[in-house]
Chains A and B, each alone.
Chain A
C-alpha cells in the first residue's frame, strides 16, 4: 500500500490565506475583531486536521521514502533548477503536526490574551504568516525553499517582537533579532552556494543522494558546508555566539514567545541539522562542534537563567539552554533524540510561556486598575499567586516537572535520552569531548531544575508581594486561555511516552509507560542514511557511560538529581525574603554578573556594534566624502577650474595686451616656424 498525500499544499497555503484576510482586515477595518477571531485560529485548525489525515495515512502505510508533492518550477537557471515543491516524510510530518497543533492552541490562547489590543487583526495576520513560513520551512523540498521559510519566520519574528512598535525597546529588540538572524542566514546562503557547486543540485533528495560520493568523509568541503549550515542554525536557534537576540525577543506578546521563540521557530536549526543529517554525518568535526556548542549553550544559558527576575527572561534563557540540549542530541548523531526533545520541549515550553502569559495577564490587569508603575513581569512583584490562578499554577508545575526531567513527565524521557546518547558515544577518537559534553549536560540538567523551581516558588508560593489594592483584582484567566494550558499540560505528560527507551521500558515502575522507542522507529526512514554513514565510520555505541553504569542506572540518577534539586531548591528559596522590585537592592557579586548575563551584550556592543558604526561613519566622512568625492572627483573639477583660472588671467580685456600677444606670436612664427617650413 503506497502512501497518498492529501492536500499538502493546503496545509501550507491556508495560513497564508489567513494572513491575507487578516491583513486586509487590519488595514481596512482594524476594529472588526470578529473576523480575525474566527479566521486566525480556524485556518490553523484546518491545516492541523489535514496534517492529521496525512499523518494517519502515513502511519497506516509506513512509506520508506519521502513523498514529493510537486508545485511549480521556481528558479530555473541553467543547470540550477529549484522546484517549489513540498517534501512529506516522517520528519516533516512530525514537525507539521507540532507546528499546526501547538500553533492552534496558541492561536486560541491569543484570542483571549490579545482581545483588548488595538492591533488584534494585525497580530493574527502576522502569526498566520508565521505559521505559513514555518510550514514552508519544514515542508520545503529544497534548500532554497527551506530558506524562504527560514527568513520568512525571521521576518514574522521581527514583526511580532516589535509588535508594540511605539516602544523603542520593542522595536530595537525586533531589529536586533533580524540582524543577528541575518548573520546566521549568511552562513545558510554560503552553505547553499557550496552545496550547489559540489553536488549540482539544491533539492534535498538529490543532494543527499549525491553527498556520499561527492564528499569525502571528514573532508574540508563538507566540514565547511556543515559549519556554515550550523552558523545558520546558531542564528535561528539562538546558540552561542548568536543567542543574544532571543532573550530580548521577549519584548513581543507572550503567545508569540510561546509559539515562535520557544516551540517552533527557534527549533528550526535543530530541524535543519536533522534534515541535513547526511552531510553532518560526513563531517565528524562539525558534529563535535555542533554538540559542543550545544552543550556549552545549555550550561551557559542555564547559569544566566538562575539570576533573572523577569519571568519571561528566565524562560527565554531556559529555552536557549534546552535548544542547546537538542543540538547536543542532533550533534552526536542521535537525530531522533534531538527531534524528540524538540517535540516535548514544544509542549512544555509553550505551556510554561502561556502560563507565564496568564500570570502577566493577571498581574497586568491588576496593576492596570490602580495605574501603579510596577513591572508586571518581575517575579519579585509576584508571590502567592497560586491562590488566584489555580489552573495556571497546576499546569505550570506540570511544565516545570517536565522540563526538570521528572518521571513520568515528557522531559524526563527526552532529556534523558539525549544525555544517554552522549554518554554512549564516548568511545573512539572523540571520547574526551563526549565525556565533557555529558558532564556539562548533567550539570545543566541540575541547573534547569533549580531555576525552574525558583521561578515557581517566586511566582506562586509564599505571600503575595502585591499591595492589597491590586491583590483583589487578581483572578484566573478566561477559558480560551486556560484550555490550551490544560491541553498542553496533558501533552507535557503524555508526549514523552512515545519514545520510552528500551532500557527504561524494562525497568520496574518506571517502565509502566507504553510504546517503547516509537518515535525512533518512526523517524528511521529519514535518519537511516545518516546513521549508515556513522555506523560505517565510527565505533559502535558503548553500553556503559564513561564512569560506568548503564542507561537505566543513569536514568535513575538523573531522575534523582532532578527531584532532589527541586526539593532542596524549594526549601532554600522559600526561605529567601523577596521584596518588590522597586524596593530591592541591585544584585551584587557573582549574582550581578549572572544578572547582567555575563556582560555578553555589553561585550558585543563594544567589540562589534559600536566599532562597525564608528567605522561606517569614518568611511563615509573620510573615504567617501573626503577621499573619493572630495579629493578625486571634486579635486579633478577643482584642478580644471584652477587651470582655467590661470588661463583666464591672460584675458585682460585690454586690446593692447592682445595686440602684444599677436606680435609675439608673429615674431615666434617668423623666427621658429617659417624658417623650418620654407
Chain B
C-alpha cells in the first residue's frame, strides 16, 4: 500500500486534491443538468472520500511534524503562502469531513427538492472550505477558508431551510463573522508583531508560533481567538445561534453543521489557542471561566434540551452539551483530556450527524418534528427504531459506543488537573439520560395512537446505506478506539510539551532573522519512507 502511494507521490498532491477537487466538482455540478446534479455531487464526494482514505495508512503516527506538507508562494510581499499540512489532530477531522459528506449528499436526495443544482454546488463549496480550514498552515489561508465556508452554509440555511430560515441564516452568519473578525484582528496583531521583531511579514503558523508575547498580550489575543472558536464550538453562553440554525437548516445543513462545522471550534482551540497563548491558556482565571462555561454547557443545556418540544432543537442543544466535554478535555491539558476531546468530536460527528439524518428521515415521512406528534413508531418501523435507539445510546455515551470512550477520557483527563470540574461534569451522564430517553420513549414507544403514524414505511435501502456507515463508526470507535488514539497520541503529546515549555519560558526569536525563503523551508516536511 505505502509503496504504491509512494509511487504515485500521494503525499505530494493529496491535500491539494482534497481541498480543490470539490471546488472543481462544484463547477461540474453547476454545468451539469439539474437532474444529474445530485448524482454527480455524490460521485465527487465519494471520490474525495476514497482519495482521503490512504491518508490514514500513509500517515506516520510516530512524528508530530506536519505531514503531506507543501508550501507555495501566494502573496509574497505580505508573507502569505499557500501552506498546507496534516498532523494527528487534523487527520481525523479531515477524514470525518470526507466521510460525512457523501453520506449527507446521499441523505439529501429526497429532502432537497428545489434548486437542486445550486444546493449540491453549495455542498461542494462547503467541503472545500472545511477541508481547507483543517489543513491550512498559513493563518491567512486558514482565515480565508474559515470565511469561505460561511457563505455556502448561509445559503443552505437561507434557501432550503424552514420557516424562519432567513432569521436563522443571518444570525448564524453575523454571529460567526463577529467572532472571526476579532480573530482577524488578533492574527494581524501577531503578524505585525512578527514584522516588528524580524522586519519580515509572515502568516505562517510555524512562524507565528515563535512570536514571543507578553502575558497581557496573550490574554487579549486569547480572548479574540477564543471568542471566535467559542462561538463556533459553541460554548455556553455563545450557543443560542445553534438551536435556531439547526431547527431551520435543512437536514444536510444540520448534519454538516453538527458533524463537522462545530469541530472547527474545537480544532481552533487545539491548533491555535493552546500553543499560541500558553500562558493565557493556563491562567487560572481564564481557564476557570472556560471550564465553568463548559460545565454549564454540559448541565445547563442538558436541562434545557430535556424540555424541548421540537426533536431537532433538542438534539441541537445536546450538541452544546457534548461540546462541553470537548472544552473540558482540551483545557484539562492532559493527554487523556485532549484525546478524549478528539474522540468526543469524532463520536459527536457520527452520532449527532446520524441523529439529524434520522430526524430528517422522520420529517420526510411526517412533515413535523414535534415530538408529541409521534408515539409508538417502533411498531411500524422496527429497523428505524433500532438505528435511532443505537444512535441515541451512542450520543448519551453508553459504554461500547463511541460516546463513552470520548467522555470517559475527557473526564479522566480533566480529573487529573481539575478534580471538582470532572466531578461535576460526570453528572452529565445522568442528565444525558434525562434528555434523551424521554424523547426516545415519546417518539418510538408508548401507544401508536395517531392514525397518520400507522402506515409509515420503514427505512428504505438508500437510507440504510446512509446510516449503516455511521452506526458502524459509532460502534467501531466504542469498541476499538486504539487506531484513533494511536494516530493522535504523538501530536497531542507534542502539543502539550509545546504548551508546557512555552508557558515556563517563551522561546527567544531564534532563526527569525533568516530570509523568508529559508524560513519557508523550515516547515518540516515528513515524507513516507
Contact = CB atoms under 8 A, between A and B. Distances in A.
A contacts B directly (C-beta below 8 A): yes
Interface string A59-80: 0000000000000111111111
Nearest to A633: B240
Contacts of B408: 75, 144, 189, 192
Interface string B496-508: 0000000000000
Interface in A9-32: 23, 26-27, 30
Contacts of A76: 482, 485-486, 489
Interface in A161-215: 162, 165-168, 171-172, 174-175, 178-179, 182-183, 185-186, 189-190, 192-194, 196-197
B485 A75 contact: yes
Nearest to A23: B386
Contacts of B307: 613, 616-617, 620
B441 A175 contact: yes
B383 interface: yes
Contact of B379 (A155, A166, A178, A196): A166
B435 to A, nearest CB: 9
Interface in A130-165: 144, 147-148, 150-152, 155, 158, 162, 165
A78 B336 contact: yes
Contact of B304 (A74, A152, A624): A624
B386 A27 contact: yes
A80 B412 contact: yes
Given A152-B399, A619-B300, A633 B412 contact: no
Interface in A304-337: none
A171 B304 contact: no
Contact of B445 (A165, A179, A632, A633): A165
A628 B304 CA distance: 13
B358 interface: no
Contacts of A172: 441
Nearest to B446: A168
Given A172-B441, A616-B307, A628-B237, A77 B409 contact: yes
A615 interface: yes
A535 B412 CA distance: 34
Interface string B355-388: 0000000000000000000001011001100100
Contacts of A624: 240, 304
Contacts of B304: 616, 619-620, 623-624
Interface in B459-490: 479-482, 485-486, 489
A593 interface: no
A632 B479 CA distance: 43
A72 B480 contact: yes
Interface in A37-71: none
Given A152-B400, A183-B430, A629-B240, A77 B419 contact: no
A197 B415 contact: yes
Q: How large is the interface on B (under 10, 10 to 19, 20 to 34, 35 or more residues)?
A: 35 or more
A152 to B, nearest CB: 6
A72 B399 CA distance: 16
B310 to A, nearest CB: 12
B411 A186 contact: no
- Specify the main secondary structure of chain A where it touches its partner: helix
B486 A185 contact: no
B228 interface: no
A179 B433 contact: yes
Q: How large is the interface on A (under 10, 10 to 19, 20 to 34, 35 or more residues)?
A: 35 or more
- Specify the main secondary structure of chain B where it touches its partner: helix
Contact of B481 (A74, A174, A185): A74
Nearest to A80: B336
B262 to A, nearest CB: 18
B374 to A, nearest CB: 13
A186 B427 contact: yes
Nearest to B301: A624
Contacts of B412: 80, 192-193, 196
A600 interface: no
B492 to A, nearest CB: 9
A194 B415 contact: yes
B438 A175 contact: yes
* Residue with the greatest number of chain A CB neighbours at <10 A, chosen from B382, B426, B482: B426
A662 interface: no
A612 interface: yes
B335 interface: yes
Contacts of B400: 148, 151-152
A615 B302 CA distance: 12
Contacts of A168: 445-447
B100 to A, nearest CB: 24
A185 B426 CA distance: 9
Given A76-B485, A189-B411, A194-B415, A628 B446 contact: no
B415 A165 contact: no
* Residue with the greatest number of chain B CB neighbours at <10 A, chosen from A79, A162, A189, A617: A189
Contacts of A150: 399
B433 A628 contact: no
A629 to B, nearest CB: 4
Contacts of A612: 303, 434
Contacts of B240: 624, 628-629, 633
B18 interface: no
A113 to B, nearest CB: 21
* Residue with the greatest number of chain A CB neighbours at <10 A, chosen from B239, B303, B419: B303
A185 B175 CA distance: 38
Nearest to B389: A159
Contacts of A183: 430
A166 B434 contact: no
Interface in B437-452: 437-438, 441, 444-448
B393 interface: yes
A633 B241 contact: yes
B290 interface: no
* Residue with the greatest number of chain B CB neighbours at <10 A, chosen from A23, A194, A615, A619: A619
A616 B426 contact: no
B344 to A, nearest CB: 13
A612 B241 CA distance: 25
B496 to A, nearest CB: 9
B198 interface: no
Contacts of A174: 441, 445
Contacts of B444: 165
Contacts of A30: 382
Interface in A611-638: 612-613, 615-617, 619-620, 623-624, 628-629, 632-633, 637
Contacts of B303: 612, 615-616, 619-620
Given A151-B398, A619-B303, A633 B386 contact: no
Contact of B399 (A147, A197, A628): A147
B419 A197 contact: yes
B95 interface: no
B101 interface: no
Nearest to B300: A619
B334 interface: yes
A193 B421 CA distance: 12
Nearest to B444: A165
A77 B336 contact: yes
Nearest to A122: B382
Given A178-B437, A193-B426, A171 B489 contact: no
Interface of B: 171, 174-175, 237, 239-241, 300, 303-304, 306-308, 334-336, 339-340, 376, 378-379, 382-383, 386, 393, 398-400, 404-405, 408-409, 411-412, 415-416, 419, 422-423, 426-427, 429-430, 432-434, 437-438, 441, 444-448, 479-482, 485-486, 489, 493
8 contacts: A74-B482, A75-B405, A77-B485, A166-B445, A167-B447, A189-B426, A192-B408, A193-B411
Given A165-B379, A616-B306, A624-B304, 20 more contacts: A74-B479, A75-B408, A76-B485, A77-B335, A77-B409, A80-B336, A144-B408, A147-B399, A152-B400, A158-B437, A162-B445, A171-B446, A178-B433, A179-B434, A186-B426, A190-B423, A190-B426, A192-B408, A613-B307, A637-B174
Query: Nearest 7 CB-CB pairs, A to B?
Result: A78-B335, A165-B445, A171-B445, A148-B399, A629-B240, A193-B415, A616-B303
